[in-house]
Amino acid sequence: MATSHHGTVGILVGGGPAPGINGVIASVTFYAARRGYHVLGIMEGFRWLIQPDAEEAKLHTMELTIASTELLHQRGGSIVHTSRINPTRSVEHLKNVVANLKALGVGYLVTIGGDDTAHSSVCCAKQAEWLKVVHVPKTIDNDLPLPGNIPTFGYTTACQVGAEILTSLLADARSTLRWYIVETMGRQSGALPMGMCSGAGCQLCIIPEQFRDKRVTFKDICDIIETTLYKRDALGQPYGVIVVAEGLTEYMDEEERKNLCKGQLIPLDPHGHIRLDKLNLALGITTELEHRFATKNLNSYGLTFKKLGYEVRCHDPVAFDVEYTRDLGFGAMKLLEMGLSGKMIVRDIHGFTPYDLESLTDPTTGRIKNRAVDCLRWDYQVARSFMFFLETWDLEEGAGGLLERMTKIAKFESPTAFAKTFAHVPALFPKKKFPGLMHDSPPFLFAGATAPPTFSL
């Protein structure tokens, strides 16, 4: 084991918690300490580093050792805490960060976070040539642009925990013949809601990406859910769980957001994002649908709303994320030892790859680009095929009598009137024909075939 002092490695966490943060911290500490580095945990992200008082910044650090972090990889949360403080809001704050890191003797910095923390990392690396900065991508939203659709750490655990909760709600819905409207985390990407929904086998998931270039409206969301309830009822299954992404509100116009916020000022976080936790989309949908049903004296379907998100952020990581975060911490230290800076560490099929943070930045916004769900990809199309929503053929008279039964349940004057009212709904779920089950399907899946078959999901 190395005993010489090679310098100080600082570790900080920004943004919301995610399962596996402690695994990265433990991995960096283990690798660095065995090679003679001093390791310092910087508390609450950039909160104290932006202050002008170096002594105050020092008080909010903790020494990390192999002994103190040995079993940390098994625990959820963050031993060094986290915050959403944005050091890029002023030049003075950035200068304070660099000055405080220098006063602490930190020559190497590992930042753990999402797109906002990555952006802060880029700015810190630019401010001081002597400071080597490597970023470890973290977000349960799975919205960072990692290559090859590689997930961000924490996403797998969050999906697992969320799916377990939804599975329990689904059993309750089936037992009591009610519907749950569950709003889940997922700001710029619908990956987390989709993953939870598919993992639990819920009846429907609504995400921003499926609207494509069309403006997301509260009415469209309610129309989708209303018709799903009618369709399931007509099929003799008047129960289920519907998952909606909280990020849908980001794509609504300001007036609709104000209505959800009951006319109050919509709060923003330090990075300028809407505080989605202060908007209650699921409650708004439930209230609107109850009003629609009451107006026509219809079955209320026992509508119940829930918000799901904080429950999955600090759960103990599953084995995949334990291994993943150990690899990422190891890779981050390798990059620092190679003298690299301003990089993001990615574990892919080739091993570890350093990605230049500057190249991942959107020139129009100055922020790291987000990765959205591709609704024309095979994985979304498979998930879509298991959902219950109003299809084009459901609106054709004589198609097994479904349209007639829905018309009766919804108390419309005629099937034609029902079809005309909800004719826009099927188009809100993008559909694509493509060759094979997967774009990268190996030939042996189609033994004896000269070409992969083409079919529609």
Q: Write out the two tokens for 333.
A: 């230290």
CB 353 within 8 A of CB 152: no
**What is the per-residue DSSP string for 115-157?**
HHHHHHHHHHHHH-TT-EEEEEEB-TT--S--GGGPPPBTHHH
Listed residue (341, 381, 336) closest to 210, CA to CA: 381
Q: Where are the beta strands (DSSP E) in 27-131?
A: 38-42, 61-64, 106-113
391 φ/ψ angles, rounded to the nearest 5 degrees? -95, 160
The single residue listed with the structure tokens 């029902």 is 418
Distance CA 350, CA 32 (A): 23
Check residue 395 and report its DSSP letter.
G
**DSSP reduced 3-state for 39:** strand
Distance CA 292, CA 290 (A): 5
Pick the catalytic residue: 53, 115, 116, 141? 141
CB 34 within 8 A of CB 26: no
Which residues does 352 contact at the CB level (< 8 Å), separation at least 6? Answer: 327, 331, 334, 335, 345, 346
Which residues does 302 contact at the CB level (< 8 Å), separation at least 6? Answer: 176, 177, 178, 179
> How far from chain centre, in Å, is Cα 252?
19
Distance CA 348, CA 44 (A): 30
Q: Which long-range contacts (CB under 8 A, 24 or more apart) does 424-429 make?
A: 424/220, 424/223, 425/220, 425/223, 425/224, 425/227, 425/389, 425/390, 426/389, 426/390, 426/391, 426/392, 426/394, 426/395, 428/210, 428/211, 428/214, 428/220, 428/224, 429/210, 429/384, 429/387, 429/389
Strands 454-456 and 61-64: what pairing? unpaired
Task: Establish whether 143 is a catalytic residue.
Answer: no
Catalogue the active-site residues: 141
